[in-house]
Chain A
């Protein structure tokens, strides 16, 4: 310790306390021993910090993200309204079963947009989708257009808000940042990096089912981040 340190100290009743232990710099052996003790103390602090940092960082990394795909059924009424639709998208509401961490499996309301369209026309209109008309998913490959229907995720591919259909503009308009999509879900204006995302749709045992998928937002490619919720 320097002379300076020896003259400082906690105030004691307004009088600065002088710590006499720091007056004598000590023998060369003492100086070297103190240098070792100072370094060892810092090393101990670092070691304990590291010992705590490892489980803390480890715990903060979330466990495996997506689980297997689940299909959510539409009611007969909803299928009928989709079949009747022509020039307007239909909002299809359904119950989504999801498992959120340690909470018990819960059923919550969710919706998607459905349009009635012709397969060949849709595939040629939506240039951002694969030319084959099929979309790959982790547990199989599904057609973009099934039974002349296309189902869109309601989530804006820009930053995750929810575009709404505007009848007079005949466009989906996102309230957050103004991205716009036409009837086919094609991106026509605003900051979104891609068009609306199609969801797999299939008929099974007389029930129309939708697979709920979350895609990564803000990127041009469709990256699946979760299957169930």
Chain B
């Protein structure tokens, strides 16, 4: 079977060539981070592809189809894996980057592999950002609103924001564009960049451990020795993701409501440090005498949101040229190692600072609904407007033609002439009594402590049974805040 395939395609040789590789110093669990990241990427692609079978990107279906995904246990499992898979992928990319940084593996001749790797980190972050919007719930809306407005801050950013949003404000076009970015453009870029990353890796070989003379290292085998460790690490990651997906599934909030001023958005954990920076820099300015007046100006905000992160990114990108020494030994690289350490501490500190600030604001705000209540109340189903519309519409026209002269357009009544129908407990009470009055008329009764001059005519014979049913349904359920049951023609004698 394999021989048959090999003689016609050469695939077996291709696979062997792909798996045959020297591992300097032998296989090690220190080398699993790149492979585990690749595994997380494959996991995201597989679960993501099948989530597109159920998700529909538009303002009127994004939240609704996401709700349906939550309600089906299988799609909910796929979504939960995708949600935690995203976090795992970003965490692994970060660990992978840290290791390369600490080991000095970005040095010549691997500068371009480092650049491609940093681009992969950026693409991964864009995937996280665009995916965050797609459920179109409260947090998706407001968190994306904040990031889009930040994108609009720098010169030329307004156009970028307009293009990303697909219009002057966020809406259905934004969902469509983020969807296109999230499921097509960014994954395609990711796969191409991973291909380049691996090709460059194979060209230069593994950097190996930090030793005085790399030539003395005894080579180990990639297949199966290193591959087994990569597989074990990936399986460990998979089990962690499954456990988180099972015991801490993501939360779908109520559908995006742009008018909800009380909502406190929070970013994904991997953007918390940027959020923290956005709050920290103005605070820092306010503490410095002479600069305090500048604390809340747009240029300080731009400094925090755009300038500092961009400089940080450029430093990371250009690291192979900023650190030109050829040695990889830890002792001679103490400056860069300490800088790395302090930057990581700063990122963690800013994240904690942001998180505590958000928690304080959330504690002060209204609590979010329990998940089962959010999922139970589908707005479209809670108010079956389309279902009741034909009957109610007919009832409204019957009311307009026959009733509103005395009872008022909105059923508010006329003092001394005819009683109000909106908010009238008799109207929303026993249907038989209401039918009786509409059919047979009424005069001289005191209603809710008031007397009225105009007599209620008897409508039996004037209006058809179906018109009577429609108009009674309308006055019981369509006027003011009246919410009583509908009447059918069969209830009319």
Contacts and interface: CB of A to CB of B under 8 A. Distances in A.
Contact of A34 (B68, B74, B224, B378): B224
Give the most central of A10, A12, A102: most B CB within 10 Å: A102
Interface string A36-53: 011011001101100110
Given A21-B22, A41-B231, A103-B64, A52 B17 contact: no
B224 A8 contact: no
A52 B231 contact: no
A50 to B, nearest CB: 11
A42 B465 CA distance: 74
Interface stretch (A57-65, A78-86, A110-118, A153-161): A57-65
Contacts of A103: 61, 64, 380
A107 B378 CA distance: 18
B47 A1 contact: no
Contacts of A22: 20, 221
A42 to B, nearest CB: 9
Contact of A105 (B72, B242, B386): B386
A12 B78 contact: no
Contacts of B390: 95, 107
A186 B466 CA distance: 37
A164 B430 CA distance: 50
Nearest to B68: A102
Interface string A113-149: 0000000000000000000000000000000000000
A64 B168 CA distance: 42
A44 B72 CA distance: 28
A21 B221 contact: yes
Contacts of B225: 34, 37
A178 to B, nearest CB: 36
Interface string A1-30: 100111011101000000111100000000
A48 B43 CA distance: 9
Given A6-B20, A104-B381, A97 B221 contact: no
Interface stretch (B138-146, B170-178, B232-240): B232-240
A55 interface: yes
Contact of B67 (A20, A95, A102): A102
B248 interface: no
Contacts of A207: 466, 489
A211 B430 CA distance: 32
Interface string A68-96: 00000000000000000000000000010
A21 B220 contact: yes
A58 B74 contact: yes
Interface residues of A, number: 42
Contacts of A8: 13, 16-17, 20
A101 B47 CA distance: 21
B42 to A, nearest CB: 9
A223 to B, nearest CB: 26
Interface string B370-401: 00000000101100101101100000000000
Contacts of B386: 97, 104-107
Interface size class of B (residues with CB under 8 A): 35 or more
A205 B490 CA distance: 6
Nearest to B383: A104
Interface in B28-71: 43, 46-47, 50, 53-54, 61, 64-65, 67-68
A105 to B, nearest CB: 5
Contacts of B77: 55, 58-59
A4 B15 CA distance: 13
Contacts of B488: 205
B224 A37 contact: yes
Contacts of A63: 72
A109 interface: no
Given A59-B78, A107-B386, A207-B466, A10 B228 contact: no
B324 interface: no
B219 A21 contact: yes
B8 interface: no
B204 to A, nearest CB: 9
B420 to A, nearest CB: 30
B463 to A, nearest CB: 14
Contacts of A52: 43, 46-47, 81
Nearest to A58: B74
Nearest to A106: B386
A58 B466 CA distance: 47
Nearest to A10: B202
Contacts of B21: 9-10, 19
Contacts of A55: 74-75, 77-78, 81
Interface string B217-258: 001110111011001101100100010000000000000000
Contacts of A41: 224, 227-228, 231
Contact of B68 (A56, A95, A101, A105): A101
A97 B235 CA distance: 49
B231 A44 contact: yes
Nearest to B465: A206
A218 B489 CA distance: 41
Given A19-B21, A51-B242, A59-B54, A5 B74 contact: no
A59 B220 contact: no
A92 to B, nearest CB: 17
Nearest to B16: A5
A6 to B, nearest CB: 7
B164 interface: no
Nearest to B380: A104
A1 B224 CA distance: 9
A6 B65 CA distance: 52
A38 B223 contact: yes
Given A41-B224, A102-B64, A107-B390, 17 more contacts: A1-B223, A4-B16, A5-B20, A8-B13, A9-B20, A10-B202, A10-B203, A20-B219, A21-B23, A21-B219, A40-B231, A44-B231, A56-B74, A60-B50, A103-B61, A104-B64, A206-B466
6 contacts: A1-B16, A10-B21, A19-B20, A20-B219, A21-B220, A41-B231
Interface of A: 1, 4-6, 8-10, 12, 19-22, 34, 37-38, 40-41, 44-45, 47-48, 51-52, 55-56, 58-60, 63, 95, 97, 101-107, 204-207
The 3 closest A-B pairs by CB, nearest first: A104-B380, A58-B74, A59-B74
